[in-house]
Structure formats: structure tokens, C-alpha cells
Amino acid sequence: MTSRLVPVQKNDIIEVKFEDLTHDGSGVAKIDGYTLFVPFGLPGERANVKVLKTKKNYGYGKLLDVITESEFRVTPECLIYDRCGGCQLQHMSDEGQLLYKHKQVKDALVRIGHLNDVTVHPVIGMDNPWRYRNKAQVPVGEENGSLITGFYQKGSHRIVPMEECLIQEEANDTVVRVVRDLASQLGIRAYDEKNHHGVIRHIIAKYGRKTDEVMVVIITRMKDFPHKKQLIEQIVEHIPNVKSIVHNVNPKRTNVIFGDETNVIWGEPYIYDYIGDIKFAISARSFYQVNPIQTKVLYDKALEYAQLTGNETVIDAYCGIGTISLFLARQAKKVYGVEVVGQAIADAKRNARLNGIENAEFFVGEAEKVIPWWYQQGIQADVIVVDPPRKGCDEALLNTIIDMKPKRVVYVSCNPATLARDLRILEDGGFETKEVQPVDMFPQTGHVELVALMSRVNE
């Protein structure tokens, strides 16, 4: 019965025309109304594809050859691009990527949020959309008796060996190579996830772009491992700007990278970096934006949308280590930040002290529980800033925002679909979406960051 309903079958080779791109950069083709998703296809292109998998309403295909190319198709710079999966759009020009991301945002607002008339500004791109990531976390494996590092092949746990990643800071590539080679020379074995033995699971490198400081994080299966002392000594000798070496222990059979135990085994517990003129302490476990150049662009826009005069009380939901809060505090009367991760709040308080900012307070808890409690205690916000995870804001938080009736809501998002959904809820609760500014935080990938301005409709 399935064969009569679905117009294509597994292993069919067919000619298609791509109409659109998915949020993860795959080409979208239609065959008699049936949707086929094909990585590396671009809108407007005709191509031959092989059908790999079919479901009732959609299927997946493999691009065999392009018959007519998009004007935006380019040759990927990376030699392992087609196998790695870390970037989804290197085969698309920078201009094409920005246009596609703009369309993605506009389509989500219309389709999901029914926001047909909202101004979506052109995406703000980077002057140099390469070498922007300040953190590398790579799995370690073995090949022919030596350690290898790289990224997992898309959809698998097989490591694609890699010497450099073109969206990583070069300093991080160097750190990963040096630590891997030193460990290999000392005979330290890679973790084998199938048999649950071996030592090194991951190497993480963090880099302060403004300070040129490096942190090395080594994640192992056990606390004590052979040649630990020699490895530390040689890392210090071979990486002159290393400021911190951290050891994390993860003894579990799991895909989660970090274990519960983290120890500084050499140097300082933090490295430092700046976003604009605000200084941040970065620990092994703390979240810090991976593209500080575009983060400054995004936060400047959020600050502009907040329209602060120095008299406002601001609530920053999902505040993390205080990045947006500290920008806001410079121009607000008072900022309250809330975040569910305790370590992040400890970092936020430390970053406030580091910058001499005294009008920002930070609290541990779920935003959807803490902010309603604040409201009950009489705390009234003039501006509420939200920067939720990909799943968007919790409904209880949105309802509290509606009840609190701030003058403005500034919504920072990494997911156009959940942004559109939440804007619709807030619109129905008495707010109006004024404008949306997308920022290309992750060039060469399908991701886009956004900041939206909402104002309270006068009653």
C-alpha cells in the first residue's frame, strides 16, 4: 500500500528541482507533492538524486550530480566538508547564505507567527566569515596505533580525522594538535566507547581573542592516568600562551562530554576575554559565546532595542554568565538576572565584580518560576530581555510577561521557529512586534541568531 501512496522508492534515481532549504541547510524538492530532503542541494537547482529512505510524508535523498547550478553555489574550502557535518552551507556563497537566512526568518514569522507585516532587516554578516569560533571540543580516537582527533561523521560515531577546522580560531587547531601528538608520543590511549576502556575521551581548547590566553581541558575516563605529570609539563613547554590546564573525569558510558569532576591541574582556573569593553572570566565549564565579534553586534542591537535612559528596571531571563545583563546594567537603573545553572550564576556574579558593576543581581532558578515569584513580590520590570534555549520560552514565563506589562520586550533567539511562536503568544497578550534583526553568528552553518523588539500596546 505504501508504494502506491509514495511516488518514489528507496534506491530510485530521479531528477528533481530544489525549491527551498531546511533549517539545517538541506535542499527541499517536491515530487508530486511528496517532500524529499537532500543535503547539499540549493534552491533553483536541478539535480539527479538517489532516494535513500522514504516515510509516509517525506523522504531523504543523496545528491548525485547537479544539472543546473545555483548562482550561489561555490566550491567548499574545507577538504572534509562533505563528511564532517559541522558546517552545512560551505557550498553556498556568503551572499547566498545571508539571503537564505533572511528568508528563513521571514518565512517562520509568517508561517508560524502569522506576523506578515513585521520588518525583518537584512542579516548582519561578518567581514571575514571564517576562523571565528573560540572554543574547540573534539573527540579523540585511534588509527594505526596513533591518536587521531576530528569530528564525528554526520549521523555516526566514526571520527573523521582533521588537522584544521576553517571556522575555528587557528590557535585552537594548534592546541588540539599539540596535545594530541604529545599524548600519543607518551603512549596514552584513546577512550574506546564500544569496550569502555582507554583514557582520553575529548580535548577542549578555549581561546581569549583579545587576551591571547589559552585554556586546555582534557577529559578522561579515569582520574589517574599514565604520564599525567609529563603531559602537563610538555603542554606548558609547547604552548607558550597556555594559562590553564584542566582535567575533567567522565567514567560513564555516555555521549555526554563532561563528567561531574573537574580539577585545575596547572595554572589558573580561568582565562579572560572581552566582548566590547566588558571583561569575562571563562572557566572550563562556563558557557561563553563562541563568536565574540558577532556577539557584540547582537548585544549592541539588544541594547538599542531596550532604549534605556538610566531609570529602568530590567529583567534578564536565561542570563547565563551575565553577558547581556552586564551590557544592560551600564545603562539601566537595576538589572535582575536569572539562570537555572548554578555555576553560570556564580560566573555572572564574578563577572559583575570583575567589571565593577554593582546594579546587577543574579539568581539561580528556572525563569518561569522565579520571575512570577518576583512579580508577586512587587518587582516590576520596565524592560524584559529573554534569551532562551532553542525550545523557546516556557509558557508560564510568557504569561508572566503579559501580566507584568513591561514597556518593552527584547527577545534574543537562536531559533526562528520558536521565536515566531512566542512572538505570536505575546502579540495575543497585548504586545506588538516592531522589528527583527537577524545576525549571522555562525557563518557556513544553517544557524541564525535574532533579536526582536516588542512594545506594549497602549490600552
Output the domain CATH number for residue 368.
Answer: 3.40.50.150
Please state the separation of Cα 430 from the chain's center in Å: 31
- Which residue is it, cell 538541506? 26
**Mean pLDDT, the chain cut into blocks of 10 residues (459 residues total):** 73 96 93 95 98 95 97 96 91 97 97 97 98 97 95 86 96 98 97 93 98 98 95 98 98 94 97 96 91 96 98 96 96 96 93 98 94 92 96 94 96 97 98 98 96 90
- Give the domain extent around 197: 135-275
Cβ-contact 384, 314 below 8 angstroms = yes
Is the same domain home to 122 and 140? no
Q: How far apart are CA 176 and CA 74, in angstroms?
A: 29
pLDDT at 154: 79
Query: Same structural domain for residues 393 and 447?
Result: yes
Same domain, 246 and 303: no
The verdict on 445 and 302 lying in the same domain is yes
The pLDDT score that the predictor gives to residue 2 is 44
The pLDDT score that the predictor gives to residue 1 is 37
- Are 31 and 152 part of one and the same domain? no
Residues 241 and 366 in one domain: no
Together in a domain, 239 and 296: no
- Helix or strand (DSSP H, E) at 422: helix 416-428
User: Which residues lie across from 269 on neighbouring strands?
Assistant: none
Name 316's bridge partners: 337, 385
Residue 218 lies in a domain: yes
Is 335 part of a structural domain of the chain? yes
CATH number of the CATH domain containing 7:
2.40.50.140
- Beta strand ranges found along 252-359 (DSSP E): 261-267, 271-275, 278-282, 313-317, 334-339
47 lies in a domain?
yes
Q: Evaluate whether residue 175 is within a structural domain.
A: yes
Give me the active site residues, please: 414
